[in-house]
Amino acid sequence: MSVEVKELTKVFGQQVAVDHISFSAIKGKITGFLGPNGAGKSTTMKIVTSFIPPTSGTITVCGYDVVAHPLEVKRRIGYLPEHNPLYLDMYVHEYLLFIASLHQLGRHSITRVKQVVGLCGLTTEQNKKIGTLSKGYRQRVGIAQTLLHDPEVLILDEPTNGLDPNQIIEIRKLIKELGRDKIVIFSSHILQEVEAICDQVVIINNGKLVANSSVKELLKLNEVACLYVRFNSPVDVTSLKSIAGITSMQLQPDGSVMLFYQPGTNLQEAVIRYASTHNLQLAEMKQIEQNLESIFRMLTSNS
C-alpha cells in the first residue's frame, strides 16, 4: 500500500507549478512534504487527491490512478486542506454525522462517529457548536472528518498552523499514532514538527524536487557547517562568495549572512582576513547548529 508519484508536472498557462517530481509514501511511515510558499506543495496535494488533473506524469494511490479512477482514489484518502473548511453553525457531533452520511456509512455512522470523537479528543466538545471552539479543537474536528471513512491515506496540509505550543504537541501525538498503520503525507512550515514526527522528507523548490530521503539521511548527506556573520556596514555579496570553502550563502533581511561550508574549513579565520582586507568591522560571528531548518534553507535558497 503506497502513494506513487512519477514525473508529475503541472502547468498553468505559462507557469510551471510542478516540474517532473517523483516520490513515494508508504504505510507506517510519515512523509514530510516541504517547500517554501509557492513551491508547488498544495498543487501537488490537490493532484494526488484527484481535485485537479496533472499536465503529465502518473500518480497512483493504493494502486489506483488518480486520473483513471478518481472515485476509488477519493475513497481511500482523508484530506485536510490548509484552510480547514467547516460548517461553523453546526454542532460537532451533528457535523460528523453529516460527513458520515456523505461517505454513505449507513448504520455504521453513529458507531464510527463515536470512535473518531474519542480518538481525536473531542468527547467533551462534541455537543458544542464548531464556531465556539478554539482553533486547536477545530483542527481536531477537521482531522476527525478525514478519518470517518477509515481511509488508508491521510494528506494533512499545515495541520498545526496557528496552534499554540500545547495544541501543537497534542496534534503531533495524534498524527504519530495515526501514522502507525496508515500512509500519512504531512506538510508544514514548522520544521521542528517535521523533524520530530516524520520518517521521510520530500522537499520541493520552485516546482522541482530538491530532496527525497529519510530525516537522518538528509542530515547526514548534507553535512555542511553554517556560520552566521554580521558586519557593521554593507558587504559586497559577490566578493564574499570568493572566500574559499563556501558552498552556498543566504543574505538575511538585516544585512547579515548565513555562510554554508564544508566541515574542516577554518572559515572563521578566512572571514576575519576578508574583513581586514576590505576594511570591514565584524559586529557578530557565530557557529549555527546544523538541523533540518538550516538544511531546508540551504536547499531552497535562491542565493
Number of Cβ within a 10 Å radius of residue 99: 20
Query: Mind listing the pLDDT tens digit for each residue in 124-175?
Result: 999 999 999 988 899 889 999 999 999 999 999 888 876 778 878 888 888 8
Q: What is the pLDDT of residue 48?
A: 95
Options 3.30.70, 2.60.40, 3.80.10, 3.40.50; CATH for 222-300 is 3.30.70
Query: Mind listing the pLDDT tens digit for each residue in 165-205?
Result: 887 888 888 888 888 889 999 888 778 788 888 999 999 99
Q: What is the pLDDT of residue 33?
A: 93
CA-based end-to-end distance of the chain:
39
The answer to whether residues 78 and 154 touch, using CB atoms and an 8 Å cutoff, is yes
**CATH 3.30.70 domain residues, the chain:** 222-300
> What percent of the chain is predicted at pLDDT more than 90?
48
Q: What is the pLDDT of residue 302?
A: 57
Res. 11: pLDDT tops 50: yes
Query: Mind listing the pLDDT tens digit for each residue in 19-46?
Result: 999 999 999 889 999 988 888 998 999 9
**Quick one: 2-215 is in which CATH superfamily?**
P-loop containing nucleotide triphosphate hydrolases (3.40.50.300)
Q: What is the pLDDT of residue 222?
A: 57
Q: How confident is the model at residue 255 (pLDDT cuts 50, 70, 90)?
A: confident
Question: Starting at the edge strand that comes first in sequence, how are the strands of the sheet with 77-80 ordered?
Answer: 77-80, 153-157, 183-187, 30-34, 200-205, 208-214
Q: Which residue has the higher pLDDT, 294 or 142?
A: 142
Query: Mind listing the pLDDT tens digit for each residue in 65-109?
Result: 999 999 999 999 999 988 888 999 999 999 999 999 999 999 999
**CATH 3.40.50.300 domain residues, the chain:** 2-215
Res. 293: pLDDT tops 80: no
pTM of the model: 0.75
Query: Rounded to an integer, what distance in angstroms lies between the CA atom of residue 222 and that of residue 159?
Result: 28
Q: How confident is the model at residue 303 (pLDDT cuts 50, 70, 90)?
A: very low
